[in-house]
């Protein structure tokens, strides 16, 4: 099998592809929100730019923030579990919601705000690949407000078999695809928007613009990893120096700090 160098989960590719091809983004959002595409009368992307200087920021989010029929909709890709995604996604929602009220307007004017997360890991202990959350009273299940909503799509739980009848599953299968064979399997279903998305994928990945953005993004990841490693080493050296001053044995210091015997002897 031929492994894809870049997938639809690659954040720079995800952002560039759907910003350049908004008609595909509109189809994707309709499928994920479970609404008819023709029912979308207002569709606006609020953060089209990908500032190259921001790619090096540890907190850079290559999300797509939209207004869909008066609702704020934020589409996120998350490829690895870092243990705090539920809290992080609530923070994203709070930021979007709290900054959406025009000056002088009443709270009733706050828009419905939805976060859509496509996850390449299992988040919930259930079989369903799609979960939707809203705030409910815990015994009566009365809805507090429809202005908060979270869609989660867990790619690891997708069924192996797909058909041309399920638009949501087709789009998610594109994001799950890891090989050329996976893409060909989807393309053989002859669904026009899938063929258009795959063709757009090939055009984007071959472009010099994407290659440069991905190079900057990869450099940022490497620099961040190196910075974390250096910080950890500095902390371990500080611990070793304290333990040496307290008269601890080299073997014990090695166990606590994972520094080499030579490095500890050098410090002493």
Considering the domain architecture, whether residues 64 and 160 belong to the same structural domain is answered as: yes
Asked whether residue 6 is domain-assigned, the answer is no
- Give residue 163's region: left, alpha or beta (phi > 0; psi -120 to 50): beta
Considering the domain architecture, whether residues 29 and 148 belong to the same structural domain is answered as: yes
What is the band of 58 on the pLDDT scale with cuts at 50, 70, 90? low
Rounded to whole angstroms, the Cα distance separating 191 from 164 reads: 6
CB-CB contact of 35 with 68 (8 Å):
no
Q: Coil, strand or helix: which one is 132?
A: strand
- pLDDT digits 0-9 by tens, 209-265: 999 888 877 777 666 666 667 778 888 888 888 888 888 888 888 888 888 888 888
Rounded to whole angstroms, the Cα distance separating 264 from 266 reads: 5
Considering the domain architecture, whether residues 187 and 237 belong to the same structural domain is answered as: no
Residue 226 has what pLDDT?
67
Considering the domain architecture, whether residues 186 and 76 belong to the same structural domain is answered as: yes
Token readout for 58 is 């540890």
Which of 72, 47, 187 lies closest to 173, judged by CA? 187
Residue 258 has what pLDDT?
86
Considering the domain architecture, whether residues 58 and 159 belong to the same structural domain is answered as: yes
Asked whether residue 213 is domain-assigned, the answer is no
Task: Annotate 42-103 with DSSP letters as a single string.
Answer: -EEES-----GGGGG-TT----EEEEETTEEEEEEEE-S--S-HHHHHHHHHHHHHHT-SPT
Asked whether residue 211 is domain-assigned, the answer is no
Considering the domain architecture, whether residues 114 and 199 belong to the same structural domain is answered as: yes
Asked whether residue 84 is domain-assigned, the answer is yes
What are the C-alpha distances in Å from 206 to residues 6, 62, 197, 209, 256? 11, 20, 14, 9, 48
Considering the domain architecture, whether residues 57 and 82 belong to the same structural domain is answered as: yes
Considering the domain architecture, whether residues 161 and 225 belong to the same structural domain is answered as: no
Asked whether residue 2 is domain-assigned, the answer is no
Residue 150 has what pLDDT?
98
- pLDDT digits 0-9 by tens, 94-148: 999 999 988 778 899 999 999 999 999 999 999 999 999 999 999 999 999 999 9
Q: Coil, strand or helix: which one is 104?
A: coil
Residue 246 has what pLDDT?
81
Number of domains within the chain: 2
- Write out the residue range of the structural domain in which residue 249 sits: 219-267
Residue 22 has what pLDDT?
97
Residue 54 has what pLDDT?
64
**pTM of the model as a whole:** 0.82
Asked whether residue 152 is domain-assigned, the answer is yes
Run of H or E including 34: none
Considering the domain architecture, whether residues 187 and 64 belong to the same structural domain is answered as: yes
Q: Which of 175, 206, 237 is the last residue of a domain?
A: 206
Residue 104 has what pLDDT?
78
Asked whether residue 212 is domain-assigned, the answer is no
Considering the domain architecture, whether residues 169 and 242 belong to the same structural domain is answered as: no
Considering the domain architecture, whether residues 163 and 36 belong to the same structural domain is answered as: yes
Asked whether residue 214 is domain-assigned, the answer is no
Q: In sequence order, what are the beta bridge partners of 114?
A: 73, 149
Residue 254 has what pLDDT?
82
- pLDDT digits 0-9 by tens, 61-106: 789 999 999 999 999 999 988 789 999 999 999 999 999 988 778 8
Residue 53 has what pLDDT?
61
Residue 219 has what pLDDT?
76
CB-CB contact of 114 with 70 (8 Å):
no
The more confidently predicted of residues 19 and 252 is 19
What is the band of 207 on the pLDDT scale with cuts at 50, 70, 90? very high
Considering the domain architecture, whether residues 18 and 46 belong to the same structural domain is answered as: yes
């Amino acid at each position: 099998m031929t492994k894809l160098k870049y997938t639809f989960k690659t954040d720079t590719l995800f952002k560039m592809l759907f910003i350049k091809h908004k008609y595909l983004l509109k189809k994707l959002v309709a499928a994920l929100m479970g609404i008819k595409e023709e029912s979308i009368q207002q569709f606006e992307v609020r953060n089209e730019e990908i500032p190259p200087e921001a790619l090096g920021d540890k907190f850079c989010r290559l999300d797509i923030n939209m207004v869909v029929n008066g609702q704020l909709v934020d589409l996120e890709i998350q490829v690895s579990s870092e243990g705090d995604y539920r809290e992080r996604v609530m923070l994203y929602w709070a930021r979007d919601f709290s900054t959406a009220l025009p000056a002088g307007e009443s709270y009733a004017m706050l828009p419905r705000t939805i976060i859509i997360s496509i996850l390449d890991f299992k988040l919930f202990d259930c079989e369903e690949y799609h979960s939707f959350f809203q705030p409910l009273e815990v015994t009566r299940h009365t809805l507090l407000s429809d202005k908060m909503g979270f869609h989660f799509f867990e790619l690891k739980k997708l069924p192996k078999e797909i058909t041309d009848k399920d638009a949501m599953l087709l789009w998610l299968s594109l994001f799950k695809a890891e090989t050329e064979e996976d893409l060909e399997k989807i393309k053989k279903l002859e669904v026009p928007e899938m063929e258009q998305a795959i063709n757009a994928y090939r055009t984007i990945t071959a472009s010099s613009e994407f290659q440069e953005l991905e190079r900057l993004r990869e450099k940022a990841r490497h620099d961040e990893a190196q910075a974390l490693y250096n910080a950890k080493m500095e902390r371990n050296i500080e611990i070793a120096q304290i333990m040496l001053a307290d008269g601890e044995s080299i073997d014990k210091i090695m166990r606590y700090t994972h520094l080499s015997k030579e490095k500890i002897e050098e410090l002493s």
